[in-house]
């Protein structure tokens, strides 16, 4: 996940950040290319008042267990994001006193005043990551450090608290293949005040959902609507962050795409109709060039693209293969590029047979393959294999899922002990 925190890292040097409250960072994003990936787990804001105010302190954790545990639904009945575990984690913050006592409590309603800033100005930012339970009972998190890159608090401390929550609710983690516990850290502005300002109070909380595979019947490629009348993100906007404001405006375009018979929006940018993202996933396209080279392309992190953990993982695996450090069952000649791709390029590749595949990547569904794009009144067709995957996505998916579940050992899998 990239916590609320993904975009809090806009200052490339933590020493140069000057916010003394949650203020300038969380709610007005300005994104510097790749900062999320450069920051380290231990980065916390170092400013006069931040250093004197308490950071998140796991040793202060207070736990109040539920007295009425819910019954855990059968895995086959799980609907993504509809079932929540018995407990939640909450850590309050205020500009005056810094991070407060972390609490794990029974999952339940929050008490907020109607004036709270989150309810008016959408001061909410979230993350999404997964925990897996291995056959021997070991619980692991997938690359949680990638989601903890928030400068406004100590990511290690917060991760420690998330582990405590996951351990407490570990009986909720389904063990069937493809199942996991989806973890949703969220931060909201809770100041009671009307007026657009950085909040002086906030709440960081974490809830968890047991989830099944996104595609229980195996891979089923989806169709996309190459959306030319609406946008998801724009240069200088907040598209690179999981801010609540980025998602509500996608609902109407999604309905419009569904009405035309397409499953998701393919978000395009500019007069060239550059491809950016698929629904709420990052996007990859594979071309085969005349010299036999395969090219795996994803749009660059230009501030409009959410710097997904899955995106980064796909890139690392493919680069590991192409530079020979970790060979996979992929074409010998594979180049991996982060560059812009236009609909014109995809359409002509589809027509001349050089388009190999196109897929989305994100924590929830891992990989989603695409079989057609409705674009300017026509369908651009995209090849998919009989199993619904393509030659690159098939291998990447296997490796990724292997590493996520722990079946393939890797340092991306972090044990919850
Ligand atoms: C969450 C998200 C992604 C995928 O990010 P992951 O870290 O891989 O889950 C991509 N695009 C958008 C818009 C997202 O919200």
Residue 150 is encoded by which pair of tokens? 């928030």
The share of the chain scoring above pLDDT 90, in percent, equals 80
* Mean pLDDT along residues 301-313: 97
Which residues, 6+ apart, have CB-to-CB distance to 173 below 8 Å?
A: 131, 132, 133, 139, 166, 179, 180, 181, 210
What is the DSSP code string of 167-180? HHTGGGS--STT-E
Instruction: Give, using CA atoms, the residue closest to atom 3 of ligand 1.
Output: 281
Summarised one tens digit per residue, pLDDT across range 174-213 is 999 889 999 999 999 999 999 999 999 999 999 999 999 8
| Confidence label for 110 from pLDDT (cuts 50, 70 and 90) | very high
Taking the centre of ligand 1 as the mean of its atom positions, its distance from the CA of residue 127, in whole angstroms, is 9
Closest atom of ligand 1 to 232 CA is 13
Taking the centre of ligand 1 as the mean of its atom positions, its distance from the CA of residue 303, in whole angstroms, is 13
> pLDDT value at position 373?
98
Summarised one tens digit per residue, pLDDT across range 223-241 is 999 999 999 999 999 999 9
How many CB atoms sit inside 10 A of residue 160's CB? Answer: 16
88 membership: H or E segment, kind and range: strand 87-94
* Mean pLDDT along residues 363-376: 96
Spatial contact of 204 and 186, defined as CB atoms under 8 Å apart = yes
> pLDDT value at position 148?
76
Q: Is the dihedral of CA 17, 21, 26, 30 positive or negative?
A: negative
> pLDDT value at position 4?
39
Spatial contact of 374 and 284, defined as CB atoms under 8 Å apart = no
Q: Is residue 2 in contact with ligand 1, taking CB distance under 6 Å?
A: yes
This prediction has a pTM of 0.89
> pLDDT value at position 150?
55
> pLDDT value at position 214?
83
Q: Count Cβ atoms within 10 A of the Cβ of residue 14 and give its class: 0-12 exposed, 13-18 middle, 19 or more buried.
A: middle
| CA 159/CA 147 separation, integer angstroms | 9
What is the DSSP code string of 123-159? -EEE--EEEEE-TTS-EEEESHHHH---TTS-HHHHH
Q: Is residue 362 in contact with ligand 1, taking CB distance under 6 Å?
A: yes
> pLDDT value at position 29?
37
Spatial contact of 63 and 104, defined as CB atoms under 8 Å apart = yes
Summarised one tens digit per residue, pLDDT across range 323-337 is 999 999 999 999 999
Of 21-25, 77-81, 353-357, which range is least confident? 21-25
* Mean pLDDT along residues 14-21: 28
Which residues, 6+ apart, have CB-to-CB distance to 21 below 8 Å?
A: 49, 95, 198, 199, 200
| CA 359/CA 347 separation, integer angstroms | 15
> pLDDT value at position 256?
97
Taking the centre of ligand 1 as the mean of its atom positions, its distance from the CA of residue 122, in whole angstroms, is 19
> pLDDT value at position 261?
97
> pLDDT value at position 32?
39
399 has a pLDDT exceeding 60: yes
Beta strands at 62-63 and 378-381: parallel, antiparallel or unpaired = unpaired
75 has a pLDDT exceeding 50: yes
Spatial contact of 309 and 37, defined as CB atoms under 8 Å apart = no
How many alpha carbons lie under 13 Å from residue 379 in its C-beta half-sphere? 12
The mean pLDDT of the chain is 88
Closest atom of ligand 1 to 127 CA is 1
Summarised one tens digit per residue, pLDDT across range 266-289 is 999 999 999 999 999 999 999 999
Q: Is residue 306 in contact with ligand 1, taking CB distance under 6 Å?
A: yes
Spatial contact of 382 and 372, defined as CB atoms under 8 Å apart = yes
Residue 282 is encoded by which pair of tokens? 């990052």
38 membership: H or E segment, kind and range: helix 35-38
Q: Is the dihedral of CA 321, 324, 326, 327 positive or negative?
A: positive
> pLDDT value at position 151?
57
Summarised one tens digit per residue, pLDDT across range 40-74 is 222 333 333 456 899 999 999 999 999 999 999 99
Summarised one tens digit per residue, pLDDT across range 127-155 is 999 999 988 899 999 999 888 765 578 88
> pLDDT value at position 50?
52
């Amino acid at each position: 996940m990239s916590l609320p925190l993904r975009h809090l890292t806009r200052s490339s040097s933590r020493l140069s950040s000057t916010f003394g409250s949650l203020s300038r960072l969380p709610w007005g994003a300005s994104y510097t290319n790749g900062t999320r990936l450069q920051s380290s787990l231990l980065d916390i804001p170092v400013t006069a008042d931040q250093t004197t105010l308490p950071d998140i302190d796991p040793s202060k954790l207070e736990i109040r267990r539920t007295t009425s545990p819910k019954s855990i639904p059968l895995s086959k009945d799980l609907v993504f994001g509809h079932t929540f575990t018995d407990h939640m984690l909450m850590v309050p913050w205020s500009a005056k006193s810094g991070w407060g006592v972390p609490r794990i409590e029974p999952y339940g309603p929050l008490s907020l005043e109607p004036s709270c800033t989150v309810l008016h100005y959408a001061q909410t930012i979230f993350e999404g990551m997964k925990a897996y339970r291995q056959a021997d009972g070991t619980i692991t998190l997938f690359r949680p450090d990638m989601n903890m890159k928030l400068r406004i608090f100590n990511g290690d401390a917060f991760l420690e608290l998330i582990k405590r929550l996951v351990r407490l609710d570990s009986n909720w983690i389904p063990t069937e293949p493809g199942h996991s516990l989806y973890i949703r850290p969220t931060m909201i502005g809770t100041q009671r005040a009307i007026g657009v300002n950085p909040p002086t109070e906030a709440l960081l909380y974490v809830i968890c959902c047991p989830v099944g595979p996104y595609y229980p019947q195996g891979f089923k490629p989806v169709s996309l609507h190459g959306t030319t009348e609406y946008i998801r993100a724009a240069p200088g906007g907040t598209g690179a962050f999981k801010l609540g404001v980025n998602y509500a405006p996608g609902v109407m375009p999604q309905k419009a795409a569904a009405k035309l018979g397409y499953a998701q929006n393919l978000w395009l940018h500019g007069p060239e109709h550059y491809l950016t993202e698929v629904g709420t996933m990052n996007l990859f396209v594979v071309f085969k060039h005349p010299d036999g080279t395969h090219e795996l392309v994803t749009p660059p992190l230009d501030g409009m693209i959410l710097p997904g953990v899955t995106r980064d993982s796909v890139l690392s695996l493919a680069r590991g293969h192409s530079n020979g450090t970790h060979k996979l069952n992929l074409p010998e000649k594979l180049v991996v590029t982060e560059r812009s791709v236009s609909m014109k390029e995809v359409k002509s590749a589809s027509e001349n047979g050089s388009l190999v595949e196109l897929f989305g990547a994100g924590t929830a569904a891992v990989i989603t393959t695409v079989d057609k794009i409705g674009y300017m009144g026509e369908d651009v067709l995209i090849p998919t294999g009989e199993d619904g995957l393509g030659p690159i996505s098939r291998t990447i998916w296997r490796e990724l899922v292997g590493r996520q579940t722990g079946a393939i050992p890797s340092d991306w899998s972090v044990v919850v002990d």
